[in-house]
Structure formats: C-alpha cells, structure tokens
Amino acid sequence: MDSIIVRGNGPLSGQIPIAGAKNACLTLMPATLLSEEPLTLTNAPRLSDIRTMTELLQSLGAEVTSLAGGKVIAMSSHDINNHTADYDIVRKMRASILVLGPMLARDGHAVVSLPGGCAIGARPVDLHLKALEAMGAELDLRDGYVHATAKKGLRGGTVDFEFASVGATENALMAATLAKGTTVLNNAAREPEIVDLAKCLRAMGAQIDGDGTSTITIQGVDRLNGATHPVVTDRIELGTYMLAPAICGGEVELLGGRLDLVAAFCEKLDAAGVDVTQTDTGLKVRRRGDHIKAVDVVTEPFPGFPTDLQAQMMALLCTAEGTSVLEEKIFENRFMHAPELIRMGARIEVHGGHAKVTGVDRLKGAPVMATDLRASVSLILAGLAAMGETRVSRVYHLDRGYEHVVAKLRGVGAQIERVTE
C-alpha cells in the first residue's frame, strides 16, 4: 500500500496546472447513454473514479476510449445491450447512480445497484428516486437494487427537491431531456458542474433553461445527437492548491483557475490574509503576511463555501492567529480528519457539526491516516506546514480526486514523494 511523505520546507513558487473537474466529468460521462451518437469530452481528469465510470459504462455496452493520455474521452452508446449496473462496480463510487436517469429515459427500464463511496455520512438517493417518480417512473427497491421502469416513456413533471441535491438535480436533468413535455426542477442545485452538464446537453440538442439558478426548465425532445464538450475546471482541485502558498508562503499561479468558480472560498482567504488575483492564464495566490488570521467557515451549497474544501481549510487554520469555528452543514461525519491533524499538534475540538480550531505556532510531522478523499489532501497540506516529516497512509483515496499530486506540488518546490510500503 502506498504512502505519501511530506517534509515542511518553506515558501513555494511557480505554476500548477488545474485539471478538468472530477465531479463534472463523472456526470458528463453517463450523458452518452442518452444518445446513439458519439459524445467526446476534452480536458478530462485522469483519475481512478474516471476509470470506474468507464468500466461501468462499458459493462452496459457503451464504447469508451481514452485518448491523448487520458485527457480526451471518446464514447459511443449506439448499442446498449445491458441495463443492469452491477453492485461490484457501483459500490466503488456514488456517482454510478447517475446512469439511472439516462437509461430509463432512453430505453424505459434500468436496474441499478444502490451506490457506495466515501464514508462521510448517509447521503441517501431518495431525492433521485422521487424526481424520477415525478416523471412517471415506477420504482421497486429490492435486494439492494433500484428496479426502474417507464413502459410508455418518461413524461414531463414538476420536481420539488427538499434540498438542493447536486446528484439528484443531475439525474433528473438528464432524464428530463428525453421526457415527453416540460419538466420543472424547483430548488435545483446551482453548482458549476450543473451548468457544465446543461451546456453539454444543449450541445447534444436538449432544450434547457435556468441552469445556474434554483429553477431549471427542460422541454423534452425526441432524441439527442452527439457532441464534443470541454470539461469545466475542477474548482475543488483549484481551491486545494490555492491553499498551498497560503499555508507555506510564497506565490503560486493556478493555471486555468477562475474566480467565479471559487468566489465564496476567496472571500474567506481574503479575510484570513491571502491575496488572490485573476491573471490571463489563471489565479495567482500569495499570503500577505507571516501569519494567517482566524476565520469562521460555514459549508453551504453553491455559491456558498464548498464542503469539499472544508478539510483543506481546516489544515490552513491550524496555524492561524486566534480561534476559528468551522460548521459542516452538508454532510455528517466530515470531521474525521480532525483526530489526524491533532496527532500533528493541532488544537481542535469537535462537537457534532462544529469544529473549534485554535491556532498553534507550528504543526509537527507525524504518521497519519487518510479517511476519505478530501481528508487525504488536507493532511498533505498540513504536512507542508509542519516541522519534520509527515507520512500519510491510505492514499488510495487521493487517486479518486487528484491527478499527479506529487508532481504538481514538487513543481512549485514542495518536498514530497510517494512510496510503496
């Protein structure tokens, strides 16, 4: 099993290229199931989750080819010969549930295993199912699988989400493109990944209005065509690497970065004493002084502070001047990285959905263990600021969401290596 070793070594300098968004790509790939014509994605990230989605689509009969070293994904679903998404594949990744809506919309039936993924809370799929029921789907849950049918095809309907679920919005949006009539999604998620999916679907011939707002309207069409679509920049990878110079000092430019993708995050960085500047090629980040100031953070759906940057922000605040409070409002059990940071000398108190972080002068290197995807990279960031050596184990989580993390951080001067134990 691999580990990553990090040694704190002072300021960073240089450029880090930001990949296409994992969460966007994992949503765009199932869109191929909506059409018999080819769908090609450019600017794709090279991650284990992408390989898992590739395996899932291929198991359904889709042709999926990786080109240009993995940065281009060419897909064709002209011959879908299997409508069962098996547990052995789906259990690896929650995004697998996103094949349900497209298969049901196109062919009127689908059987999909209930999904797995990171252990950061219950994260049920009931909103996905209620949305499809509002479009006329008949659902039966048995033996760990969702058995879905729409014998006469899906029909337009009104979907009122109890909360702004990203995955449920994506599933409903794809399904509605081929439903008969008009579908309205109320309290829809507003994330950039939703907007990116809508752009791709429109390129395929879908009629969609209101993406990026809380109300999305879809007029169903008889068929969708093929398209070529560039995957949007990964705002979570972007925010993660923006924290590296904030923690270590120095100045780093994040190539492909956009302020509109991380506006709420940048507001907190500014309050903490970090400058973020838009350039012609990305975002430039530097710490204004020698120390970070404490700030309070509340995670919220977009355009609020992203839950997927909470763990990384906590690593930054471990050495801030003063006391910060982080409130997690999206997922329960998302402070599992706190005990590992405490092993490095951090002062953190967790009470339910709140974590109080009192800054210390310096963290100390220690052996730590990653508990989920974002926790793993938060420990690497903490190691960059720590005195001595930090060894992060169970980094297989990392491969699900960050490509070439060691090479990217080495490129700006970090002392980091990956070793096989």
- The CATH code of the domain that includes 65 is 3.65.10.10
3-state helix, strand, coil in the chain (%, to 5): 35, 30, 35
Within 10 angstroms of residue 130's Cβ, the number of other Cβ atoms is 17
Is 276 annotated as ligand-binding?
A: no
Q: What is the pLDDT of residue 340?
A: 96
Res. 156: pLDDT tops 80: yes
Look up residue 175 and give its amino acid.
A
pLDDT of residue 138: 97
Q: Tell me the C-alpha distance between 52 and 44, whole Å.
A: 14
Q: Provide, rounded to the nearest whole percent, the portion of the chain with pLDDT above 70.
A: 98
Query: What is the pLDDT at residue 55?
Result: 98
Q: Is residue 124's pLDDT more than 90?
A: no
Percent of the chain with pLDDT over 90: 89
- The radius of gyration of the chain from alpha carbons, rounded to an integer in Å, stands at 22
Q: Which two tokens stand for residue 329?
A: 């409002």
Q: What pLDDT, on the 0 to 100 scale, is given for residue 120?
A: 33
Quick one: 138 and 208 in the same domain? Answer: yes
pLDDT at 74 over 70: yes
- The residue from 230, 245, 277 where one domain ends is 230
**Does 7 share its domain with 89?**
no
Q: Is 140 annotated as a binding residue?
A: no
pLDDT reported for residue 87: 93
pLDDT value, residue 116: 55
User: Are both 258 and 221 inside the same structural domain?
Assistant: no
- Confidence class for position 94, pLDDT limits 50, 70, 90: confident
Helices (H) and strands (E) in the chain, counts: 13, 26
94 is in an annotated binding site: yes
pLDDT value, residue 93: 87
Assign 216 a pLDDT band (cuts: 50, 70, 90). Answer: very high
Q: Kindly state the helix (H) or strand (E) to which residue 146 belongs, with its residue range.
A: strand 145-149
Judge contact between 235 and 259, C-beta under 8 A: no
What is the DSSP code string of 157-205?
A: -EEE-SS--HHHHHHHHHHHTTSBSEEEEET----HHHHHHHHHHHHTT
Our answer to whether residue 200 is catalytic in this structure is no
Task: With H, G, I as helix, E, B as strand and everything else as coil, classify residue 129.
Answer: helix
Contact at 8 Å (CB) between 89 and 97?
A: no
The verdict on 215 and 282 lying in the same domain is: no
In the chain, the amino acid numbered 414 is A
| Rounded mean pLDDT, 42-51 | 95
Q: Would you state the structure tokens that stand for residue 262, as one six-digit string?
A: 């991380």
Query: Tell me: the pLDDT tens digits for 255-296?
Result: 999 999 999 999 999 999 999 999 999 999 999 999 999 999
Say yes or no: 389 and 254 in one domain: yes
Q: Which amino acid is at 379?
A: L
Q: What is the DSSP letter of 61?
A: T
293 annotated binding-site participant = no
Does 201 share its domain with 293?
Answer: no
The predicted pLDDT at position 349 comes to 98
Whether 325 shows a pLDDT value over 70: the answer reads: yes
Report pLDDT for 238: 98
Domain that holds residue 172: 25-230
Residue that is last in its domain, among 175, 206, 230? 230
Confirm or deny that 362 is annotated as ligand binding.
no
Number of domains in the chain: 2
* Orientation angle between helical segments 310-317 and 263-272, nearest 10 degrees: 10
105: tokens are: 């919309």
186 is in an annotated binding site: no
Domain stop point among 230, 251, 268: 230
**Residue 222 shares a structural domain with residue 238:** no
Report whether pLDDT(143) > 50: yes
C-alpha count within 13 angstroms, C-beta hemisphere, residue 122:
4
Quote the mean pLDDT of the chain: 95
**Mean pLDDT computed over 197-209:** 98
Picking from 136, 131, 224, 148, the residue whose alpha carbon sits closest to that of residue 184 is 131
By C-alpha distance, which of 179, 170, 172 is closest to 222?
A: 179
Edge to edge, what strands does the sheet with 39-42 contain?
63-67, 72-76, 39-42, 227-230
Q: Examine the domain organization and report whether 363 and 403 are in the same domain.
A: yes
- Residue 188, both tokens: 């829809």
- The 8-class DSSP code of residue 330 comes to S
Q: Is 306 annotated as a binding residue?
A: no
Which entry of 118, 200, 248, 318 is annotated as an active-site residue? 118
Same domain (yes/no): 267, 370 = yes
If asked whether residues 168 and 252 sit together in one domain, one would say no
Q: Quote the pLDDT of residue 122.
A: 43
Question: In 3D, which of 419, 370, 401, 403 has the Cα closest to residue 16?
Answer: 403
Hey, which bits of 8-133 come out as E strands? 12-17, 39-42, 63-67, 72-76, 84-85, 109-113
Q: 385 and 244, same structural domain?
A: yes
Is residue 381 a known part of a binding site? no
Q: Tell me if 127 is assigned to a ligand binding site.
A: yes
Return d(Cα 45, Cα 397) in angstroms, integer. Answer: 15
DSSP state of 347: E
218 is in an annotated binding site: no
The C-alpha torsion from 175 through 176 and 178 to 180, rounded to 10°, is: 130
Same domain, 276 and 350: yes
